[in-house]
Structure formats: C-alpha cells, structure tokens
Amino acid sequence: MSALVLIHGAWHGAWCWRRVLPGLRAAGHGAHAVTLTGVGERAHLLRPDLRLRDHIADVLGLIDAEELGDDLVLVGHSYGGLVMTGVADALLARGLKPRHLVYVDAVTPHPGESWSSQHAPETVRARLEAAAQRPDGAMPPPDAAVFGLDGANRDWVNRRQTPQPAGVYQDRLDFDAARIATLPRTFIDCTAPALPTIAVMRERVRREPGWQVVELATGHDPMISAPEALVKLLLDCAR
C-alpha cells in the first residue's frame, strides 16, 4: 500500500486534513499530514527569514524520518502544490520516484515561478502591504468564506488559521520540469465556487500535456467541505 503525504496550503496546518486521514488509513494506506514551519501548531516558529526552501525541507524531513521510500503519493493543496513540486524534484534527484503527485486546487508551477507569479498585481500588492503592517511581517489569513465555506465550517477554519510567512510568497522555485513530467500528475479542480487566484492553474493543466484533471463541485478547501469525495479521489490516485 502507498504512503500519502499531505501538504497544506497557506494559513493552514496539518489540522485541515483531520477529516481526510481516517478514510485513507481505513483503506490500508499510510497517511501523514505535515505542518510547515511558522503556521498551525508551529506558529511559534514564525520568523521573517522563513523561505520556500524551509517548507520543502519540512516535508523532506517527514519523509526521511518515517522512511517512506518510493511508494509515495504526494498531495499538495493550494500553496502546498509549489512546496510539493520542490519536494518531488528533490526526491527524483536522490533517485526516488514518487508514485503520483496530486495537486488539490493548487499551484502548478513552471520553473522560476513563485506562488505569487500568476496572481493579479493588486492581489500581490494587497498581501505584501498587509504583511508590512504587521510586527511579525506575515500575511494575515483571509476570512474562510473566500474558500467557499460557511456556517460551522467557516468558523472552524477561521479559528485555526494563522498568519502565513510572507517570505515564501515571492520565492521562486527552480526545478527540472522534464524530470517532474515523468511522474503521474492529477489536478483536482474545485469548481463551486472556483477560487480566482487558481484560475491560471486550472487553465494551464487543461492546456499542457501529462495532466489528469478531475473536477470536484465544492470550494477551495475540499478537505473541509467535501472530505469523503476527496478521500475517494485520493484513493484512486494511490492505486
């Protein structure tokens, strides 16, 4: 059976996968949710010099500590897609080949791009200005309503979100695109409502070769709003 490593998006932490992990484990798979440095229960480690390379190292550290090996499915949500691409490239450089990359409404970078590269200029400006106004220099979380959540789900996420290290926002990822293209890649497109900052990515994966695209009629946080449906898709990718 495969081991799945779940990488959360911005302002989140491993907590966001709480409704997904039991279903993956019940199917016999190993399932590991990592919290990236500076957010979630690791928010006390927030510092201005955190960079993308630190988040990639977080995930590689988990993989090494758990000795997960080759039979590995990497799952990246939102900003976590950028981190996951860097992790996969590092594993391939070691001679390890993940079984599948699953981008959950996520950043699907080209070499040299950052999380912010395909955002509208006004979005980039607003996020950086908001971070500059905070003593910790981090980007404050948005209201979870923008992820298509409401009621108890919205409240649950709003209580848990933490500021995002701003240093990762414009960090560019260099990687071997040809090497990444050898891996099976699935993009889960969350369509109801579709998050505007993912628009370029959902167009990109439909235009470029090598992608399997699956639509899920829920918002940007499917692990919260449609966990059973997401588990089913992840299990399909782990086969």
In the prediction, which pLDDT does 29 show?
95
CB atoms within 10 A of CB 182: 11
In the prediction, which pLDDT does 69 show?
78
Choosing from 78, 114, 116, 225, which is the catalytic residue?
78
pLDDT at residue 153 greater than cutoff 90: yes
Q: Average pLDDT of 90-95? A: 96
- 78 catalytic, yes or no? yes
pLDDT at residue 70 greater than cutoff 80: no
The pTM of this model reads 0.97
Q: Give the sheet arrangement for strand 185-190, strand by strand.
A: 30-34, 3-7, 72-77, 100-104, 185-190, 211-216
Q: Average pLDDT of 166-171? A: 97
The closest of 1, 3, 27, 7 to 228, measured between CA atoms, is 27
Residue 22 structure tokens? 């039991």
Residue 38 to residue 11: CA distance in whole angstroms: 9
Q: Average pLDDT of 70-97? A: 96
Categorize the per-residue pLDDT at 91 as very low, low, confident or very high, splitting at 50, 70 and 90: very high
**H/E element, 155:** helix 151-160
Mean pLDDT score of the chain, rounded to an integer? 97
Q: Which domains does the chain have, with CATH numbers?
A: 3-238 (3.40.50.1820)
Residue 84 to residue 239: CA distance in whole angstroms: 19
Residue 187 to residue 153: CA distance in whole angstroms: 24
Categorize the per-residue pLDDT at 34 as very low, low, confident or very high, splitting at 50, 70 and 90: very high
Angle at 80 between CA 136 and CA 160, to 5 degrees: 55
Q: Average pLDDT of 135-142? A: 96
pLDDT at residue 210 greater than cutoff 80: yes
